A and B are shown apart, each in its own frame.
Chain A
Amino acid sequence: MPLRIAFFILVSLLIFPAPARSFQGFVQPFGENASIAWGNGEIVVVRMLEKAEDGESDKTAPLAVRKAAMQARKQMLDMILSIRIDSKRTVSAFLSGDDELAVRVRGSIQNSPFKRPSVFDESGGVRVSETLRGKLAELVLPTTIQFQSGIQPRLSTSMEQSLAFSDAVPEVVGSGADAYTGLIIDARGLKVTPALAPVVYGQDGLGAYGAFLISRKNAIDNGIVAYAISSDPVVLRERVGSRPLMVKALTAYGSWRTDLIISSPMARLVRAVMRPGDIIDKCRVVIVVDAPISLENTDVIIEGEIQPNEEQ
């Protein structure tokens, strides 16, 4: 019997390799019961059922299940609203200008995958989940973003002047650039805030990677970037392929530190690597950030992000 079970598990792993090894990347905790995985975009909230007066939670009580599910989905909506789209706005700020879209996001969250508490599960909680890809991404990514425009964004003049330009310009990149399968940007130590549409600038002030290179459809399907806490290419292979270009970010940019600046020579190399093909189509870019220090710190960030009068 145990052999049969082991065989079943092995076969399951072979048949369903993707979900089993799905790249979670940087898992940002929100309190003790929720998280956003910035690798595959999965958002999960687990909520315990309230205990009855006798101190026991009844896992089959419909009212308790409904209450826990409503609370979990409310928490998930708050998490989504607090996500930064780019350096200028959060999802909340974007939706505040479009009532119809806000209703659709709420409806989508209310229709998110849901697991009731199992009678065999001692913890006895409900689990709701959603993903920042596909339909939800279609709703929260503004259509005003100039996807695949090919027009490089430019840093503001004041910032441009304060940047030290590098004289070390690399040779024109030829066929060597084609060999790269993805891009890993090491931004550890820069206190980067994850965002749906960050921009990577060169020290020369011109955009090297961002929505201007990616089609809206590919951004919706894959996410413009993934975030991870490990720079190990083996760990990141699923997203960036077997031969990624490794770049060190110099600084984070913007009031919420969503964008990155890399050296001019590396920016030129990145632009050469970002040619039409798999890298662009599958958004094979990972930004490596610091691992979360403590849950308390994350709570502070959440509170700051859902301020109603935030700058748009």
Chain B
Amino acid sequence: MIKVDNLRKQVMVADGELEILRGINLEIKSGQTAAIVGVSGSGKSTLLGLLAGLDVASSGEVWIDGVGLSDLDEDARAALRASKVGFVFQSFQLLPALTALENVMLPLELAGAEDAARRATEFLHRVGLEARLGHYPNLMSGGEQQRVAIARAFAARPALLFADEPTGNLDGATGTKIVELLFDLNRSEGTTLVLVTHDEGLAARCDRVFTMFNGELSEG
């Protein structure tokens, strides 16, 4: 599903070049769940951005379903995301001007789905928010907002789901419920899940655990 070969990322800073990723190699098979753990600043989120095609590597290659991302321009990567990739973010990233239902409909509309409203409603049912379809994000708790974000991520039936610290902004009890929901849906939809987290409990639930340290990745 995902294959990474000698992936590097450097950025220019005031006192020279900073190497964030130092030759990452990785392979995750379809349907697997994988966690990337590591201390702050170790390069986890940078790696996630590159895996999802949100950013471009300095060198090396990422393949998703056999398609090399470095051959694609921004629009082609967007098309790939629209057809195969879903996201769950630490800060939820719901659009404040849209209701819960409209937020979930957004990726479906972008993919040109004709029954966007029906499918979005179905997924909001599945995350237990059927009573809050017309509510705006600012009227919802953090846990509810993340449930909307999870419904949005699964609604387009992506083959691959990236989650960036999905429980990072939530209290312990709410975080646990969200994790349950995420894994339940993942199992029933057969999605490949890659998540970045500080939470060792969450990481332990994944099939595989990778550790980032100083720009290098090791499994286990």
| Chain A partners chain B | no
